[in-house]
A and B are shown apart, each in its own frame.
Chain A
Amino acid sequence: MVVQPGEVTRDVGGPGAYAGTAAGAPIRQTSLWRDAWYRYIRNRAAVLAGVVFLVVLAYCLVWPAVSPYDPYKVDFSQARQNPSLDHPLGTDRFGRDMLTRTALGGRVSIGIGFAATIVILVIGVAYGAISGFIGGILDNGMMRFLDALYGLPYLPFAIITLAIIGDINFWSMTVALAIASWFTTARIVRGQVITLKENDYIRATRAIGARWYRILLRHILPNTLGVLIIAVFLELPAVVLGEAFLSFIGLGISPPEASWGAMAQEGREVYRTSPHLIVIPSVAIAVLVLCANFVADGLRDALDPRTRET
């Protein structure tokens, strides 16, 4: 067999290097996930991003409960203060503490982000798995349909979906954003299923008489898990940004609840006198998106060294 130069360089940093198979050492048993974990924690940027991501999550979940300020209480005597010791991030134009409001906004933004991501995964996996597993004319037709959906631009599609639901709230935002963005996941899953389907162990399973649903559920879908975990961290930032854009052009959930995008839109009206009111929620969005992107990159390198992207 001809060894490709590329493969040699890959193996230098490949799984063996991390799994403790140094010369003389006893060979430890290693699993795909442990390998991936070792690869991931060696990637400093990804680890840092993961930690910051968890810190942001914890802040959004915990801070509103322990904060000394009521995030809904309006007090105009405290309105639009700059950051100070009492209010580390200042106050908004209703005198509410921004540190607490931002945590609350994060709950909405990240909540919609995760909820929409789950919907995206469910639709994407079902569509992609059916299309890829059955193949043939059905696959062709389903992919052409997907092509047409790809033609619909993202934001207008989400706006129309919102208009159809009529009401703007947490769940309608989730549905609108998910429906406008499940196509990529469906394509990835389909590609993965088609590749896996041709593997020898699948043929062997079929040869010993396993039913199609057993092959699909037991042998193919579990192997797409890695791709799906990466997809979570690719879709989450996209949804958070999409939600922010929608809220910013006035199609967000209504006050007193607010996502980061809605907070930015409120802040936008007073940017000349109190620029921190738009900067803080926007930076929160940026930090979350940045971390999710780095985590996604790290996961891709860790779970699938073959498609390492520089």
Chain B
Amino acid sequence: MSGSLLAYVVRRLVWTIPVVLLVIFLTFVLMRQIEGNPFRTSERAVPESIQRNLERKYGLNDPWYVQYAMYTKGVLTFDLGPSLVLRQRTVNEIVKEHFPRSLELGGLAFLFAAVFGIPLGILAALRPNSWLDYGAMFFSNVGFAVPSFLIATLFIYYFVVQWDVGFPTSGWTNWESKVLPVVALGLAPAAYFARLVRGTMLETAQQDYIRTAQAKGLRRRRIVGLHVLRNSLIPVVTAAGPLLGYLITGSFVIEEIFAIPGIGRYYVTAVTARDYSVVMGLTVLLSVIVILANLVVDILYAVLDPRTREARA
């Protein structure tokens, strides 16, 4: 049994390598398609000779495959290269400075979503078609549809401008400044969790083994706690993939609104400044995170549910 699990994990790990290489390649190809050159914009006119030197220094005149090979080598040794626009800084430094904030924001929002959304889904599923259930599903549907920029702006409007409960409108320093962005970013994932947990629990409750448990006279608490809950939380693990997508997309907007100097905000700046190496570095970083998250999810899923090992090779 554990042998097949080990084989699955190894196979899944080995598959990740070409996928990461392909993502680096795709990002590289995409970035090369963008018109223009960071040193040839009219805003930053420099003499022709200096331009040549700069292009040579950053390898912009090498053939594409040389650039690609150099870049892949850099990524694999955790060196994302220098920033093309901010001469004194490397992409690694930028990541080191901005990424922890985004990571904290995303992590806290995920925590909020799990702590708030999962119990809500469980409660709704325990009393289907009750007012609690309707309320939870209303929240879930609306939380899913309302764009996070509205939620964030309303938070600022009411909590800061109107009622002034002591939260600042921007920044990422003390815990007061973190409450509003985290909740604004976490609401949609919480809605997603609530809906998912409710759905899987109601589905599990109809399974034969639940009927058997009822038939042999187990108490409801034991049936729900032991059989329903455990089995219906397994699919929730797979939710982490799409959830990460929401968090990344959401953080771009939330960081913009609350002026949090994180990766999302920097990303947009780097795109408009045509800072290739920063955009590439950040894209590759985000992609690798998504790929690794999917890897962890798949392995967790295989550990929790042995049936998937054969099916998902």
Contacts and interface: CB of A to CB of B under 8 A. Distances in A.
Interface in B138-188: 141-142, 144-147, 149-150, 153-154, 156-157, 161
Contacts of B149: 244-245, 248, 264-265, 268, 278, 282
Interface of A: 4-6, 9, 144-145, 147-157, 159-161, 163-164, 166, 237, 241-242, 244-245, 248-251, 261, 264-265, 268, 271-272, 275, 278-279, 282-283, 285-287, 289-290, 293-294, 309-310
B253 A144 contact: no
Q: Determine the main DSSP class of B at the interface with A.
A: helix
A271 B287 contact: no
Contacts of B294: 150-151
Contacts of B274: 163
Given A268-B257, A278-B153, A310-B203, A289 B145 contact: yes
B153 A156 contact: no
A98 to B, nearest CB: 15
16 contacts: A5-B208, A144-B15, A151-B288, A152-B26, A153-B248, A154-B248, A156-B283, A160-B283, A163-B271, A242-B249, A261-B147, A275-B153, A279-B154, A287-B145, A290-B142, A310-B198
Contacts of B18: 144, 148
B279 A285 contact: no
B38 to A, nearest CB: 13
Contacts, number: 146
Nearest to B199: A310
A286 B145 contact: yes
Given A160-B271, A164-B33, A272-B161, A155 B23 contact: no
B142 A155 contact: no
Contacts of B157: 271-272, 275
Instruction: Among A5, A144, A166, A268, find the residue whose CB has the most chain B CB atoms closer than 10 A.
Output: A268
Contacts of A5: 208, 211
B6 interface: no
Contact of B252 (A249, A272, A293): A249
B286 A156 contact: yes
The 3 closest A-B pairs by CB, nearest first: A282-B150, A148-B22, A289-B145
